[in-house]
Structure 1
Amino acid sequence: MNTTHYPHWPAGMPYAISTPETSVYLNLEISARRYPNRPAIIFYDALLTYAELDRQVRLLAGYLQQQCGVARGDRVLLDMQNSPQFIIAYFAILRADAMVVPVNPMLMTDELQHYVEDSGASVAIAAQEVFPRLAPLVGNTGLTHAIVASYSDYLTAPTDLTVPDFVRAPRNVPAQDGVATWNDALAAGCEPGPHQAGPDDLACMPYTSGTTGKPKGCVHTHRSLMFNAVASPTWSGATVADQVTLAVLPFFHVTGMQSVMNSAIYCGGAIVVLPRWDRDAAGQLITRYKVTGWTLIPTMMIDFLSNPRLGEYDISGLKRISGGGAAMPAAIAQKLLELTGQTYMEGYGLSETMAATHVNPPHRMKQQCLGVPYFNVDARIVDPVTFQEVPQGEQGEIWLHGPQVFQGYWNDPQKTADAFAELDGKRFFRSGDLGYMDEEGFFFFTDRLKRMINASGFKVWPAEVEAMMYQHPAVQECCIIAARDAYRGETVKAVVVRRPGSEASAEDIIEWAHAKMAAYKTPRVVEFVEALPKSATGKVMWRVLQEREMAK
């Protein structure tokens, strides 16, 4: 195990920690007993206490069990934006001894069908603005029940904040077999059975993908989920209940889920919820509720600091500002430091590790750096061909061993076997990311062994987008690559060979793609070419196109 970074370890902090050997739901139950009257959720000035949060979680868990037939180990799809209902639904699924399958609310019907069929979920909990995309699957796939929530039901206090129309929208859930409104589900008054899930039961399955195109489920137990829910606030010193966290990262994504939602619930802190990024609302909420912790991606910080109204907000109470997904530009990090005295704490993690494996030490933060392997993590830089560790400073693949590493890919033993390798008698996860370790033991990201585009922190898998693009009648051949984008960091570009006789324009193809896939996956740029470069075996040489694009 590499210990080069130990001289830079936070003073008084242990190198390894022990975490509770209980279900993640119990974190909520315990916080509700300790702090029943403290605010758990703040939603546009409406407050939900810990006692009330736990009461609603139990009611929804009872409904899932008694009316939807959810049993121990079942998968339940969760499809909504940040909201009180997301948190309630998440913990209700865990309380029902089932596994949460969080999905991006930007996904379209064809994409959702894969998640439903692959996970075997028979129940979904969705928000009403995204439900029309899920509705065709209820009763026509294995999905037999859906519970539909309206965000406006939780706008229970007057507010002068700008509330988006989709949040204000009144309840409007279509009458459909197998579909119940959120309010009706809670009003049924169902009490759940005894809680049975333990540390090694199934807990959460975020989906990720690779070069094969179809997203695959990352199986996490309560044990692997629990680790970063505890480790994250421990590392940043945010373990007391008086912490107030601003939730702007989506809860369906592991960073928002773990570093914000689950960490706050474990500690008994308050979560200030924003369903969608809004720089003015963020500034107002930080000021009004004296937010102490904020986890966000660089594109959000760039937008926030460029706001001409920034001077109206009091952000001096922030004690920790952290994130990842992409490197924070040095100029933005400097401006943040000047305004708040805070250094942006960068980290590194994956869906397979349920958020962080690396974080910068609070007293020794390097910019554009992944940080050091934190509690209980053994990380190595390994030659991806020879499987031998490379010398310090040389590039290799980042390998990870720790309690937050997933169990494997759902129903895919071959991909699971390919994702792991043994070194020094330990089972390491092969991240697919390339990087190096400096002389102080800090890790840096350099490239991707896997093919992936990182658009504002959203991971876009080219093969998946290509598979969708081939459905367009004008597309004869297509290769998806990353293009530089001043705001998003990277954006999606389609290099297309048109079918003979087709006169489809780039705008036609982009508009079509918007209707077929989530916005972050949709190509922003389409380039037409006569032919794609290919190898002697006929494989498209995507690296050639990628290198050509980056050389522009």
Structure 2
Amino acid sequence: MPELIRHLAHWPSGVPRTLDVADCSLFSHLEGSAARLPDKPATVFYGKPTTFREMHAAAVALAGYLQQRLGVRRGDRVLLLMQTCPQFYAAFYAVMRCDAVVVAINPMSTPDEIAYYADDSGARVLLATQDMADRAIPLLDNGTLDACVVGALSDFAGTPDASPWLEIPAIVQEPRRPMPHPRCHDLAAVLAAGLPCGPTLASGRDLAVIGYTSGTTGKPKGAMLTHRNFCYTLAHRAHWQCDREDEDELLVLPPSHLAGMRVMLQAGRIGRTLVMLARWDAKAAVELIHRLRIRSWPAVPTMLSDVMGAADAGEHDLSSLTRLYGGAAAMPEALARELQERLGLVFLESYGMTEFCGLSLSNPPQAARRQCAGVPVINCDVRVIDPITLEELGPNQPGEIVMHGPTLFAGYLNKPEATAETLVDIEGKRFLRSGDLGYHDENGYFYVTDRLKRMINSSGLKVWPAEIESALYGHPAVQEACVIAARDPHRGETVKAVIVLRSAARGTVSGDDLTAWARERMAAYKVPRLVEFVDALPRTATGKILWRVVQEEEDRREREGAVG
């Protein structure tokens, strides 16, 4: 069956059907913006602007230090452990300037998770802010890491006097601490050293980022993404959304995630100002939109719902917003209607995966549909296949969504078998198997209806049950564990653990005990918020736990509860 073209009838006016990009490093984007707009703020962080000239200088100085003092070379992996902040921005581009590879870590990661990322990626250097650096100290002691560069959020933040209407978190106001380890290097001193960089040699084919994504086997896999992958997805967005440098954007999504990272890189590419919040704060977001007249905001539905609740129509004017977009979680119909009624805006939904550099489907801005993933973006071929026979399916026939295009990843780091399992050849082209079930209609719009793989979507953060189950089996009282999704009115879904306790532990271990134990061993968003104890779990004849049966029972009870 040929590539779908029905959606071209809804193609945005003026947007090319195909495009190509320069063979360059992502660092050239920041370099160009700094030359073109040196005095324009690249970021505004709690009232303090950092210009493109200053951001470029910080990235270059950090890159020089990484090369000359810490031995970072082309292709080396460098860990980034930070909240949403200007330091992440500078650190990312510094790694690019070294021709090295960013391994961005979720800021909620535990010490054990950080150790896994360091070991699997082979990274020897970590860049962190002081509120998180302590989690990496054991890796310096045991020799996993050679060095850690540590910065204070307050170095790039304004004072309370600069924005008296904005509550600044304690971690952002905290003064610079003494370095916690002999092999820690103070970021302020690093930047002040001003060491020069060597020549840059990276091309579009070189790796830029290793983005970790979990899976059904439990252990996170590192998706390898090139400079060219990012250049394509950024060029697409510039055309599709008519991106302009004068549209200040609010960034509250973590840049350690592909969604936030793409927003940051697009701002660096076109010279747009990013207004950043280190932590999600609905009241702060409302004040920033109102007072700074922010025009663009990428968000997940829970954030938008929070803002709608926090905004007082008589005191807060949100009319400067001209674009709301996102795609990590489904947009509820009621919230979509409220956004359109109160703000006159249609939430622009999209769909993507880390392995596809974050975007394969997006709604045309002039013909957006609610609760719809959109149409294939520029240069992307997206189809639906039967997940068993791999036969391609026609309109309104549900199957697995697969995608091909120039943003397709280079494979999983150190996992060739997992790479082979997630790819399929169709008409001589490599397609990525999404693991999501859906269909396309007669007009070429795609809808995601279910998932083929086990996955929990909590406020846009993906949680893979096998990873949580593997950890829970480490508790001495747990005999069996099955992790499923439970409905949550705020997050959409939350993590629930159905547990069979060892006979000796029954009556002595509570759900709160297990939750507290898990909180010490995994990122907060992965911790089971609900725990149910059962005498036995359903199994196949070969002894495999029937997780679908457990999930269906949970869904049935939730439906009956809703009806009641």
Residues 83-113 of structure 1, C-alpha deviations (whole Å, 9 max, x = no match): 0100000110011110000010101111111
Query: Which of residues 458, 462, 480 is equivalent to 1:455?
Result: 458
Distance 2:95 2:141 in 1: 21
Q: Equivalent residue for 1:241?
A: 245
Cα distance 1:469–1:319, how it changes in 2: closer, same or farther (>3 A)? same
Corresponding residue for residue 202 of structure 2: 197
Question: Which residue does the alignment assign to 2:396?
Answer: 393
Q: Secondary structure at the match of 1:54?
A: helix
Structure 2 residue aligned with 1:421, among 420, 424, 428?
Answer: 424
Alpha carbons 1:230, 1:266 under 8 Å: kept: no
CA shift, 1:279, in A, is 1.0
For residues 218 and 116 of structure 1, what CA distance do their matches in structure 2 show? 15
Q: Report the CA distance between 1:177 and its aligned residue.
A: 2.5
Question: Which of 534, 549, 552 does residue 554 from structure 2 map onto?
Answer: 549
Among residues 55, 60, 63, which one is paired with 1:61 in the alignment? 63
Counterpart for residue 343 of structure 1:
346
Q: Residue 177 in 1 paired to residue 182 in 2?
A: yes
Distance 1:80 1:428 in 2: 33
Give the aligned partner of residue 352 of structure 1.
355
Tell me by how many angstroms 1:129 deviates.
1.1
Which residue identity is paired with 1:532? Answer: L
Q: How does 1:224-235 map to 2 (within 5 A)?
A: 224-235=229-240
In the alignment, is the contact (CA less than 8 A) between 2:286 and 2:310 conserved in 1? Answer: no
What root-mean-square deviation, in Å, do the aligned CA atoms of Structure 1 and Structure 2 show?
1.1
**1:479 Cα deviation (Å)?**
0.7
Give, in angstroms, the shift of residue 353 of structure 1.
1.1
Once structures 1 and 2 are overlaid, which stretch shifts more, 467-476 or 97-106? 467-476
Q: CA deviation at 1:310?
A: 4.9
Q: TM-score, length-normalised on structure 1?
A: 0.98
Q: Percent identity?
A: 47
Is residue 469 from structure 1 mapped to residue 472 from structure 2 by the alignment?
yes
State the Cα deviation string for residues 506-544 of structure 1 (Å, max 9, x = none): 111111111111110000000001111111111111111
Shift of 1:142: 2.5
Q: CA–CA distance in 1 between the matches of 2:198 and 2:187?
A: 20
Partner SS state of residue 501, structure 1:
helix
In structure 2, C-alpha distance between the alignment counterparts of 1:175 and 1:266, rounded to whole Å: 35
* Deviation per residue, 1:270-293 (Å, 9 max, x gap): 001111111111111112222111
Aligned pairs for 1:264-279 (under 5 A) are: 264-279=267-282
Maintained 8 Å contact 1:298/1:324: no
Q: What code does the residue aligned with 2:227 have? A: H
Whole-Å Cα distance in 2 between the matches of residues 290 and 386 of structure 1? Answer: 52
Following superposition of structure 1 onto structure 2, how do residues 45-124 of structure 1 map, counting pairs within 5 Å? 45-124=47-126
Q: Counterpart of 2:208 in structure 1: which amino acid? A: A
Shift in Å, 1:12: 2.2
2:518 aligned residue (513, 520, 524):
513
Partner of 1:11: 13
Q: C-alpha separation between the residues in 2 aligned to 1:339 and 1:168?
A: 35
Matched residue, 2:413: 410
2:494 aligned partner: 491
**Alignment correspondent of 1:216:** 221
TM-aligned CA distance change 1:317 to 1:308, over 3 Å: closer
1:255 and 1:354 in contact (8 A); partners too: no
Amino acid at match of 1:128: Q
Give the one of 492, 496, 509 matched to 1:504.
509
1:369 matched to 2:372:
yes
Q: Which runs of 4+ in 1 moved over 6 A?
A: none
Partner of 1:145: 147
Provide structure 1 residue ranges, at least 5 long, that are not aligned to the other structure. none
The residue type equivalent to 1:299 in the other structure is T
Partner SS, residue 359 of structure 2: strand
Over residues 37-68 of structure 1, what are the superposed CA-to-partner deviations in whole Å (9 max), with x where a residue is unaligned? Answer: 11111111101111111011000000111111
In structure 2, relative to structure 1, the CA distance for the partners of 1:415 and 1:310 (3 Å cut) is farther
Amino acid corresponding to residue 366 of structure 1 in structure 2: R
**What are the Cα deviations for residues 204-241 of structure 1, in whole angstroms up to 9, with x where unaligned?**
01100111000010001100021112212321111x22
1:301 aligns with 2:282: no
Q: Does the 8 Å contact 2:287/2:316 carry over to 1?
A: yes
Q: Contact 1:348–1:371 (CA<8 Å) still a contact in 2?
A: yes
| AA at the equivalent of 1:204 | V
Name the TM-score, length of structure 2 as normaliser: 0.96
Secondary structure of 1:265 counterpart: helix
1:433-475 deviation per Cα after TM superposition (whole angstroms, max 9, x unaligned)? 1111011111011111111110101110111111111111111
Partner of 2:335: 332
- Select the residue among 540, 543, 549 that pairs with 2:545: 540
CA distance in 2, matches of 1:173, 1:116: 24
Q: 1:173 & 1:58 partners in 2: Cα distance?
A: 24
Aligned to 2:28: 26
SS at match of 2:407: coil
**Partner Cα separation in structure 2 for residue 101 and residue 32 of structure 1:** 25
Counterparts of 1:108 and 1:141, CA distance in 2: 18
Equivalent pair of 1:117/1:141 in contact (CA under 8 Å): no
